[in-house]
């Protein structure tokens, strides 16, 4: 298990550049796909802070909604003109639909890289055999990967998964081998089981084991990177080829500046004052409004980010509540202007943020665990009909 002691900030000594297909990712830092979060505006902010370095994956797009050209889905797959490479994450349970979605992306030039999501632990998905329940059915996983890789043509296809369903039903090593056999370009492993949801500690040893198990392709480590030093430590301790960072950048897109600095051997990390944070908040809300095409809806969508941005700052609970129900940029800005904006970056704000609970029982279809090779009864309903959920 990983050591929780103090750590040096030395950059990894490895000089090999992570490549996702033809795309170099240098330094090897990836924004984790997060439904409802990693849309074009948030990716823009993260990219600005990283100086354009790294890889920024879209929120999850369901394949059925994509092939049906669902209106919301078509908006979610929007990339800013400057995004290169354009990374899209797909979620699907039916090999034929996944194949169609991937072909559509390739033929219509909708993205440059496709990531497949096999990590979702949400009960309404696993109950039907989807998400993190799916890799347990080895032949189905193989069929999906085969369709995706063959439909993608020259586009690289990667997969993201968890360790397994629970400690008694670990799937990541088999899934990794299947991925290599089917021509997947790289694998990201979130070091938790579905049963853990977001609780406990990510198992970085599993990332190291996967790296040994699939030496043919890059392995990206994911789970519990809260600050740039954590990212360096994950690479050092697991030998992974890159890191995928999710909750650590909620309300903190400048973490990408820190990550780039750390991998480049610099230690000057961003410690914004509340004034600087407030400016980013207003910009984030404004970008959401432009993206949605309606300022008020943008600010309303931004509400979920408010607590993350303000984490650790001395802001009274009444003011926090007020800021989380604003409906216009002016209201947001004037509320923020009432705060003591000279506050320094708070000690402790580099720690965990976002969801941290877990240890739920995984809800599965009847008899799911009886036979990993029997794929009868996998329901296409496991795929939600809208994206980003
Ligand atoms: C709000 C939220 C939404 C998420 N949505 C997705 C998703 O759409 N696709 C996916 O593969 N993982 C999703 N995840 C999981 C993250 O990509 C990541 O694997 C997980 O948060 C662990 O990484 P972290 O410890 O850096 O947060 C989501 C996580 C959160 C907190």
- If you write DSSP's letter for every residue of 228-249 in order, what string do you get? HHHHHHHHHHH--SEEEE-GGG
Kindly state the tokens that stand for 376: 């009868």
Average pLDDT over residues 121-141: 92
Given the structure tokens 């629970």, which residue do they identify?
166
Which tens digits make up the pLDDT trace of 87-101?
999 999 999 999 999
Q: Given ligand 1 and candidates 32, 175, 193, 355, which is best to mutate, with the most ligand atoms within 8 Å of its CB? A: 32
Of residues 384 and 326, more confidently modeled? 326
State in Å: Cα 223 to ligand 1 middle.
9
Q: How far is the CA of 34 from the centre of ligand 1 (A)?
A: 5
Mutate to test the pocket of ligand 1, among 158, 246, 386 (most ligand atoms within 8 A of CB): 246
Strand partners, 116: 90, 159
Lining ligand 1 with CB less than 6 A are: 32-35, 37, 59-60, 89, 117, 119, 160, 190, 222-225, 245-248, 354-355
Do 384 and 63 meet the contact criterion of CB atoms below 8 Å apart? Answer: no
Encode pLDDT of 261-312 as tens digits.
999 999 878 899 999 999 999 999 999 999 999 999 999 999 999 999 999 9
Lowest mean pLDDT among 51-60, 82-91, 167-176, 359-368: 359-368
Task: Please list, residue by residue across 337-356, b when 16 or more beta carbons sit within 10 angstroms of its beta carbon and e when fewer do.
Answer: eebeeeeebeeebbeebbee
- The CATH number assigned to the domain with range 17-267 reads 3.20.20.70
Judged by phi (left if over 0) then psi (alpha if -120 to 50, else beta), residue 21 lies in: left
Question: Residue 249: pLDDT above 60?
Answer: yes
- Any catalytic annotation for residue 120? yes
């Amino acid at each position: 298990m990983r050591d929780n002691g103090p750590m040096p900030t030395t950059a990894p000594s490895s000089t090999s550049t992570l490549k996702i297909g033809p795309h170099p990712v240098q330094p090897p830092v990836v924004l984790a796909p997060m439904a409802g979060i990693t849309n074009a505006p948030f990716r823009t902010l993260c990219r600005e802070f990283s100086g354009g370095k790294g890889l920024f994956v879209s929120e999850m797009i369901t394949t059925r909604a994509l092939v049906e050209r669902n209106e919301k889905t078509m908006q979610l797959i929007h990339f800013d003109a400057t995004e290169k490479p354009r990374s899209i994450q797909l979620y699907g349970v039916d090999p034929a639909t996944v194949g169609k979605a991937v072909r559509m992306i390739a033929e219509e030039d909708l993205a440059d890289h496709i990531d497949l999501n096999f990590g979702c632990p949400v009960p309404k998905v696993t109950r039907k055999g989807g998400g993190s329940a799916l890799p347990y059915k080895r032949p189905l996983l193989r069929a999906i990967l085969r369709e995706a890789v063959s439909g993608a043509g020259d586009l690289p296809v990667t997969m993201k998964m968890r360790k397994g369903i629970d400690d008694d039903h670990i799937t990541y090593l088999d899934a990794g081998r299947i991925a290599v056999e089917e021509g997947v370009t790289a694998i990201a492993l979130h070091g938790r089981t579905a049963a853990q949801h977001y609780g406990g500690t990510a198992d970085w040893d599993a990332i190291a084991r996967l790296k040994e198990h699939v030496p043919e392709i890059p392995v990206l480590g994911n789970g519990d990177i809260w600050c740039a030093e954590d990212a360096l430590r994950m690479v050092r301790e697991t030998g992974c080829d890159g890191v995928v960072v999710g909750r650590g950048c909620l309300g903190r897109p400048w973490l990408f500046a820190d990550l780039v600095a750390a991998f480049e051997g610099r230690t000057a990390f961003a410690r914004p004052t509340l004034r600087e944070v407030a400016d980013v908040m207003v910009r984030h809300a404004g970008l959401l409004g432009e993206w949605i095409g309606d300022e008020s809806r943008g600010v309303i969508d931004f509400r979920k980010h408010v607590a993350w941005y303000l984490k650790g700052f001395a802001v009274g609970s009444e003011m926090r509540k007020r800021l989380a129900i604003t409906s216009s940029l002016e209201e947001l800005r004037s509320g923020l202007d009432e705060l003591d904006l000279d506050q320094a970056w708070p000690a402790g704000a580099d720690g965990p943020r976002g969801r941290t609970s877990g240890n739920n029982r995984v809800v599965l279809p009847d008899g799911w665990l009886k036979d990993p090779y029997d794929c009868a009864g996998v329901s296409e309903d496991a795929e939600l009909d809208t994206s980003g959920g």
